[in-house]
Amino acid sequence: MVKKVAIIGAGPSGVLLAHYLLRRDEKYQIDIYERRSDPRTVNFSKIRTFPISLCERGTNALRQIPGLEEAVKAVSVEMTGTIFHGKKGKTQVTSRKKPLVTLDRTNLANVLLEKLLENYDHTRLNVHFKHQCLQVDFAAKKLKLQKLKPETTSQEIESEFTINYDLLIGADGARSVVREHLVNTEVFECQQNYVPNAYKSIFLPNPDQTPGIDLQKNKIHTWRLSNGVAMLMLHQPDETISGVIHFPYAKNPIAELKNAEKVTEFFHENFPEIAQIMPEYEAEAFSQRPISQVLTVRCNRYHYGDSVLLIGDAAHAVSPSIGQGCNSALEDVVVLDKLLDEYADNLALTLENYSIIRQPDAFALRELSDYCFPTSKKLFTEFIIRNSLGKILHQIFPKTFFPPIFDAVFAADISYKEILHKNQNWISRVKKSNDQFFANN
């Protein structure tokens, strides 16, 4: 019997899960409901999007669907290392054996969606944009939705309607509506917190067009200041460069940058390379761009009975500091797929064991994301030394020395739980130092 699946959210994890389910011998019929407009038909938003890096965890998940990895890499740039810039131009460089695949999140979602619609017709798949989840009746397996009005009409509200489902997937992000309804069920607990840092996105033209600027392609570029402000920039396939600037939310200098003149002055003082390639229109746009915060999510389980599952940020949103949010979300799909194989698509056993298996890794990822990178300049220097020394020792004595923390995080065959266990002393030290820093700022 074909099972009717409703996926709430058309982000990377929700769409990739549709790929995986639809290839399972016609056992599933899928409807995807997304609150926003079709990203392929609307103007590119420089507020809602941000650059992401896919490591082996993420690319391994794409690789299981023919053509996906190649399609994603076609709109990506491969990064072979990271350059840590100093305020006076001094740099430190780290390298990696396997490149990271970097691209804009919107482009990733678009590629996954386009390949999905190429492979399946309306007999098995329907994607509904501008549809908002309003209410879930878990006992009756019913979902109430609202079709939102198009931006081009003055009509107030379109119709509300109810559907039945056999399996409901909450892939609707850190502010998941599905998860909000699960909070009212028995033995479901959820903790939500904002990370102490906030961020703004930055979009710059081709840096090669500015004389005297040398921002190597195929490298992630990052800057750090002593007051907790940090910036990360990535080259894009169209020769532009974009990224984010992070800063303490409670006490930060970014809030004071109300116009292009103040933005330009701030960047000249703190990030001179970036200031030289920032045009006036981007300085003005940056001043008006809203400050964003990252909401982290920690749940004691990710399923309800045999019919509801949370994946990705809806289940375990984390700080973006080590670039594992999207990677872990895509890895969720691989874990679920293996369980469906193991339990012959028995949803009760699959969903229960998904929570059992995935929760320890998600909890560990939260700790690693919060406390892998130190705010302290002294500890950060130690982090660079530990990382460099760890690479050498692991290469010479791979059975004796565990990979350095970043290499381990990027690998697909080492669990987050094991990485945390091997680095617990370091994480504890950084936690104490970072908590003290943010308490004083």
pLDDT at 105 over 90: no
pLDDT tens figures, 106-132: 889 999 999 999 999 999 999 999 999
Nearest Cα residue to 219 out of 82, 55, 56, 53:
82
- Average pLDDT score, the chain: 91
Weakest-pLDDT range from 38-42, 269-273, 345-349, 421-425? 38-42
Residue with tokens 């289940």: 315
Provide the pLDDT for residue 336.
98
pLDDT at 45 over 80: no
Task: Place 156 in a pLDDT band, splitting at 50, 70 and 90.
Answer: low
pLDDT at 287 over 70: yes
Residue 1's alpha-carbon distances to 4, 27, 154, 161, 349, in angstroms, are 10, 7, 43, 25, 18
pLDDT at 41 over 90: no
Percent of the chain scored above 70 by pLDDT? 95
Q: How many residues does the chain have?
A: 441
Provide the pLDDT for residue 283.
97
Nearest Cα residue to 162 out of 128, 124, 135, 127:
135
pLDDT tens figures, 187-226: 899 999 999 889 999 999 999 999 989 899 999 999 988 8
pLDDT at 104 over 90: no
- In the chain the first and final C-alpha atoms are separated, in Å, by 58
Contact 409, 322 (CB under 8 A): yes
pLDDT tens figures, 66-102: 999 999 999 999 999 899 887 666 677 778 878 999 9
The values of phi and psi at residue 52, to 5°, are -130, 160
Whole-angstrom distance, CA of residue 344 vs CA of residue 356 = 18
Nearest Cα residue to 20 out of 10, 30, 34:
30
The reported pTM is 0.92
Other residues' Cβ atoms within 10 Å of the Cβ of residue 87: 13
pLDDT at 441 over 80: no
Other residues' Cβ atoms within 10 Å of the Cβ of residue 98: 14
Contact 334, 315 (CB under 8 A): no
Provide the pLDDT for residue 149.
79
Provide the pLDDT for residue 92.
72
Provide the pLDDT for residue 212.
86
Whole-angstrom distance, CA of residue 33 vs CA of residue 164 = 13
Other residues' Cβ atoms within 10 Å of the Cβ of residue 198: 20
Provide the pLDDT for residue 47.
47
pLDDT at 265 over 90: yes
